[in-house]
Structure 1
């Protein structure tokens, strides 16, 4: 559908919805029940009009499409629930499941192309893979655009897109895996705290903070990291059309955009306008971008704000002493 025509139709639907709501509101709250008072009637009419406009806007958006590109953002640490990252920055990311839902919603709608905006240092392994798979499954061209940072799990996601664009000063790369565990067994001994093992399975408590890490445990945990790294390298090489050894030679370094482009880790360098021009070329028509965001209720916004404050004050420290021990992430 012609973009200008679609926009006019949407505005017409909204206008009709507003007029209808105003008429209903006037009849219900002002014209008939005189006992409510003129002032109260006017207020209720205004409220009814506002509700009518909102409903009409949603109807218009669902019935008349004015976009052909869906933009979905991956920002902050990548995790299943969108909580804090591994560093005390207070940076809370978008839940991976919500990002996947938005990509699928765009694919089910009128979007002919996907623009995946990436500004993330990475995060958990499986949630990153879920977003990557959703991008691969999108029916149409997929372009990833790195803004400030596209590292580790962010680059893993980008490798599932048809093209990766970045700015000259973007931070790109960090193709590696890290497993971490805080060990406080010496401090515990000084405090008179002892570790008693009740576990079934030789490696069940490998990496527990209160237990001294044996060489056998260390080899076992390092083996998991190595296997995840092999998987990461192979998938990136496949998605980017690069040699596996070339990826390994990066040794999980990060690069500025210009260097990443020279190494073939990035397809093109450019601004957001350049990316939209490229999407226009891929679609053979003007690209009209619409942001797809998960709904954010008041309770969610308050909860996530509280998480930022709590973690900034050090509330996340105890999680590193968890009995499960080791955390693996891109």
Structure 2
């Protein structure tokens, strides 16, 4: 069989790719679709990673009503580690637009940023709340816009109470456990007072960890952090309180990076190492949050007996 037509098509595709790479838009498209492996040949000295949406361990499949699944911690950590291993990368820019999310995944990203060998600057766009602020505490500096929402240094634990509904439906609860608190928080039974104290103790423990981590990372008095009472603040108020280092746009942040590097920052966005088809499906997704995840989180819970999150 003659392979000439097939080879011709391959040649046309290759030519199209080369042609696209000669334009700014083409280079950007190829870089996004291929994870920066093609179309981004310019020199760079700064890696940019983005944390957008609710922070989760892994990417769930979003429903049409819930929208994108949020920031996947494992992906973000992988990007930061790849940047740290890249000899061309001298600085890290972490863009944050997140209301928070799961506890340990948030801490994984914070630790990766803290371990990066070079200057690290976090930049809050719309929202840097709770788990997002936890991540920012692992960076050398935090920048925000005047109208960014910043803070929400607190922890939420929740459980559905389906006991009344179960009674109406004639559903009874019977479970066999070993260990007094093994079924504490199960939604089909009323929670006992000692169980409530036990579960609240876990939340309080997470909160103290949060306060201690922010205190060390941001060089703040722990009592000042507690005095915020998990409020969110506009960027200018957050800056006055010391929750934010500087206010400005991304251009201002790049000017700061120039000072830190002693050279103009050439920024390359590091993206998850996904397949080509998956990039076509999700490459254009962007989520903007107008409030903390007290609103967003109500629609993104994955279920379970007790949900504990930074939000």
Please give the range of the TM-score, normalised by the shorter of the 2 chains.
0.7 to 0.9
Which residues of structure 2 form unaligned runs of 5+? 22-29, 288-298
Structure-1 residue corresponding to 2:292: none
Taking the aligned partners of 2:147 and 2:301, their CA distance within structure 1 comes to 36
Taking the aligned partners of 1:318 and 1:284, their CA distance within structure 2 comes to 45
1:205 aligned onto 2:183: yes
With normalisation by structure 2, the TM-score equals 0.82
RMSD of aligned residue pairs (Cα, Å): 2.9
With normalisation by structure 1, the TM-score equals 0.77
- Secondary structure (helix, strand or coil) at the match of 2:56 reads coil
Task: Select 2:245's aligned residue among 267, 281, 297.
Answer: 267
Which residues of structure 1 form unaligned runs of 5+? 1-32, 309-315
Structure-1 residue corresponding to 2:13: 47
Shift of 1:197: 2.0
Structure-2 residue corresponding to 1:169: 147
Structure-2 residue corresponding to 1:329: 309
Larger radius of gyration: 1
| Bigger mean CA deviation after superposition, 236-245 or 291-300 | 291-300
Task: Select 1:76's aligned residue among 45, 50, 53.
Answer: 53
User: Once superposed, which parts of structure 1, at least 4 consecutive aligned residues long, lie more than 2 Å away?
Assistant: 39-45, 47-55, 57-61, 82-85, 88-91, 295-305, 316-320
Aligned partners of 1:84 and 1:93 also within 8 Å:
no
Structure-2 residue corresponding to 1:296: 274
Taking the aligned partners of 1:193 and 1:102, their CA distance within structure 2 comes to 48
Structure-2 residue corresponding to 1:147: 125
Name the count of aligned residue pairs: 279
Aligned partners of 2:66 and 2:300 also within 8 Å:
no
Shift of 1:211: 1.1
Greater RCO, CA 8 A, separation 6+? 2
Aligned partners of 1:69 and 1:289 also within 8 Å:
yes
Shift of 1:90: 2.5
Aligned partners of 2:122 and 2:141 also within 8 Å:
yes
Taking the aligned partners of 1:303 and 1:70, their CA distance within structure 2 comes to 21
1:257 aligned onto 2:235: yes
Structure 2 counterparts to residues 14-25 of structure 1, below 5 A: none
1:117 aligned onto 2:95: yes
Shift of 1:42: 4.1
Q: 1:44 to 1:258 in 2, by over 3 A?
A: closer
Q: 1:121 to 1:301 in 2, by over 3 A?
A: farther
Aligned partners of 1:92 and 1:304 also within 8 Å:
no
Taking the aligned partners of 1:270 and 1:293, their CA distance within structure 2 comes to 24
Taking the aligned partners of 1:184 and 1:78, their CA distance within structure 2 comes to 27
Structure-2 residue corresponding to 1:14: none
The structure where helix makes up a greater share of residues is: 1
- Secondary structure (helix, strand or coil) at the match of 2:105 reads helix
Structure-2 residue corresponding to 1:10: none
Shift of 1:233: 0.2
Q: 1:267 to 1:318 in 2, by over 3 A?
A: closer
